[in-house]
Every structure is written in structure tokens, then in C-alpha cells.
Structure 1
């Protein structure tokens, strides 16, 4: 066995035993164990990690833990650019394209409402989620730690909150998405970007009151649904503004 000392920072402490939180602790590892194995042995999914320092040097997940090592493990940095130090993956977890697992349909809909490319199908199993994330460069959103521990998962985010509004706040805050939001630009049902459309082209599909009062319309090129800024739009706008105001002043309000 190899004895090394580890310390986890910020929200990574939520995954580990209380006695080990926010302090350095000794960890016995199998000989030739990788630092990825060591990190996940204490309960932290590797997808939550952005920077690993072994004895002050940045290392990747394949680094072999050695006797007496002092290892510091960090989540995504919000205030500092650590790109020159990154070794754990080819690119940081900052690309706002997602795939949500079967437990997070409500969150997926809210992310689409903010304009983020978010795939979701409650019939999609973990294997298909992992394959899609790898092929399309998507970040997996899940409440299943075991899914994030899979070797072929490189980009993922464990969602702690249990209700969709709080989940949205958590994800936007952790991944710094507020400044990239484009509310009501994407279809809530099929995730396709909406296109402006003239009233005359959709007039036969509009309720009479809407045809009289509304002048601005958007249509989904996928499912052909038509959207307009009605009462439901106003309620959703108020809901999003209320959720997001406390996250960041950079949140883009819906027009």
C-alpha cells in the first residue's frame, strides 16, 4: 500500500465523509494506483475535478500516487483563469451544451428556456447518455454519482438540488452560465433553435385572440410549434428573473 495525503477544496467536500472535509487527511492507496482511482475512492466523481496538484505540480488523472505525496484537488475555478495549469482533460468544463439523464427532465426544460442546448429523453439509459456526451461533446447533468465515475465520461456535473428551480440556480451558478443565457430562443419540447416567422405564415394555427393581439412570432423548425409573448411568456419571464437575479447581475433578461 501507498500512503499519501489529500485535501479537497470547496464544493468537492460535499462528496466526502464529514471527518475528511476541509482538511488534509491520510489516504492509503493500492500500489501504482492512479490519482483518479484515489479521488473516486473517497466518493468524488472525476468529472467534478478541474485541477489536481501533486506536491505543488499540476498532474493529470493518470498520475501514479507515490508514498508521501501531498495532493490538492480543486473544482472549477470561478474567479481565476487556471487554463495554463490544466492537465486533467483536454478542455475545461465550460461548454454550455448538455445532456440530462432521466431524473432531470424539469431541469432540462428550464435550461432550454434559458436558451441552452440541452438534450433529454426519459427513455434514454446511461449507456446512451454517455455515448451521446462523448460523440457530441456534451456535459452530462445527473444525480447519479456512478454515472459520472464511468471511465468514458469526461464532462459532467453532479446536481445536488432536488427540485428543478433550485437545480437551475445551482447549475447556472457553478458553470457560470448567466452571461451566456438567451432566454426563449429554443424550443422547450425538442431543443431546436426558434426562427422568426411572419404572422401570415402561421395565422391558421393561432387562437383568435392571439391573432388579434400578437405581432411577434417564432417557430420551431423541428416540431413546427409556434411561440409568442403571451401571458405564459410573461409568467415564465418573471420566474426566470426571480431565480436568476441572485445568481448573477449578468443575467440577460428576456426582451
Structure 2
């Protein structure tokens, strides 16, 4: 037998719906006793972006079993007035760490530039990303909605924009990172930590003009890449200033 429940998605969760569905009460047909989480994700909305679910005005968990004629309201994590005790998502870790999908290499470098521990490789599959998120308490950033629906993922965000600066602004605002920057402490290439080193210790890898005109150097403890405050540093500093 087929039953019907009614769903209403609030605010930013409408980004996952088709144009004609946005801001509308949606009838959802189902059989048996699906969980409300499964019903929500079947309509396109991934669980990491959900803060609260109300059924007929009462808060429920993701495991709640849908009943005929239920009226389900779904609220996003950006809904600030929801008491923390009633939020469905676990509290974010004290130390913010990210893992990004294979399409977000530029964003990974930008986050590393700001000092955030950011795992990115262009060969990571969805299963590996989910495992890293679960095992290392990382936030998943992606342009793939289906990735965010994986059960192992607690925290995640689907990037609305395809443009780097807009993506970075989204992440900073969504996770409230404005006061958590630690610029130039991570390697842009491998995510390793960067430390100041003596010039004589890296002379062998410096271009001639760099060796001549610069005296302050930093090196990644993992991949050994060397950094100095050339014109590229000034451009990166200007980029960072746009988000502070």
C-alpha cells in the first residue's frame, strides 16, 4: 500500500530542490516504514546540512519512521535559533579539518593558505573521502550531493558556487571560520606544516635571484618545498585580506 507524507524544506535546503519545488509543501509517496532521513535524502537533501526535523511540530531524529499523513519540516544548519541540545548534527570538532573531493584542488590550496588542515588528492574516491571524514573527524566539502549522503559523514557542505573566491567565502561563513585563520602555516602542495629555516640549509634549491635578494625562508616538513616572501606572497596576502 502507498502512503503520503508532506514535506516542507526551509531556507538554504531549497538549493537542493528543483525550481518548481522550492518553498512548496511537497507530497512524498512511500511504502512500508522508511526512516525520515531516507525520505529526505530521496528528495535530494543530504543529511549533513540538516539541523532539525519537526514532524507535526515535534522534533525527531533521523531514525524516526515515517507515518502516513505526517507533516515534516526540515531546517538547515544555518538556522541559528535552534537550541544546540536539539540539533541533529554533532558539534563541530575543536580543530577544524577538511577533506575535499577531486574537483576542488584550487579550494584546497586556498584553505591551506589560511592554515586549515585540508586533505586533497585528485585520486580520492567517495568511499575513501567518507572514511577519512569519519576516522579523522574531517568536514567534507564537495560539489557532489550524493557524496554527502554517505552514512559515515557527520559534517559536510555542498558548495553552491563553481568559482574559487565565492566557494571560499561560503565555507568561511558557513563554518564561522573568520577568527580561525593561521595564514602561511601549511604547505599549499601537500598540507604539511611549514617552519622557518636557515638560508644556508636551503641554498641548494634556491633560484639564483632568490638566493641573492631574499634572506627569510620557510620549508615544509613533509615534502620539503621551500617558500619565501616574494611577489607571490604579496598576492596571497591580498587574497587573504579579502576574507578578513
- Structure 1 and Structure 2 fold alike (TM over 0.5): yes
User: Does structure 1 residue 19 correspond to structure 2 residue 23?
Assistant: no
Q: What is the CA distance between 1:78 and its match in structure 2?
A: 6.2
Q: Does 1:117 align with 2:117?
A: yes
SS at match of 2:179: helix
**2:39 matched to 1:38?**
yes
CA contact (8 A) 1:95 1:139 kept: no
CA shift, 1:76, in A, is 1.4
**Does the 8 A contact of 1:190 with 1:222 survive in 2?**
yes
CA contact (8 A) 1:2 1:65 kept: no
Structure 1, unaligned runs of 5 or more? 245-250
**Counterpart position of 1:230:** 230
CA positional deviation for 1:223:
0.9
The answer to whether residue 77 in structure 2 is matched with residue 82 in structure 1 is no
C-alpha separation between the residues in 2 aligned to 1:116 and 1:134? 18
Q: How far is the alpha carbon of 1:186 from its aligned partner? A: 0.6
Give aligned pairs, total: 243
Q: Provide the C-alpha distance between the structure 1 equivalents of 2:233 and 2:79, rounded to a whole number of angstroms.
A: 32
Normalising by structure 1, report the TM-score.
0.85
Contact 1:99 1:133 in 2 (8 A): yes
In the alignment, structure 1 residue 198 sits paired with structure 2 residue 198:
yes
Matched, 1:129 2:132: no
Deviations for 1:36-79, whole angstroms, at most 9, x for unmatched residues? 11111211111221222223332221111122322221111364
Distance 1:162 1:61 in 2: 30
Kept in 2, the 8 Å contact 1:219–1:226? The answer is: yes
Normalised to the residue count of structure 2, the TM-score between the two structures is: 0.89
Cα gap change, 1:29 to 1:93, in 2 (>3 Å): farther
- State the superposition RMSD in angstroms: 2.2
**Pair 1:99–1:8, CA change in 2 (3 A):** same
Q: Is the contact between residue 100 and residue 108 of structure 1 (CA under 8 Å) also seen in structure 2? A: yes
Whole-angstrom CA distance in 2 between matches of 1:52 and 1:96: 26
Ranges in structure 2 where 5+ consecutive residues have no aligned partner: none
Residues 52-108 of structure 1 show CA distances to partners (whole Å, capped at 9, x for unaligned) of: 22233322211111223222211113644631112x343348862111111111111
Write the distance in 1 (CA, Å) between the matches of 2:43 and 2:223: 45
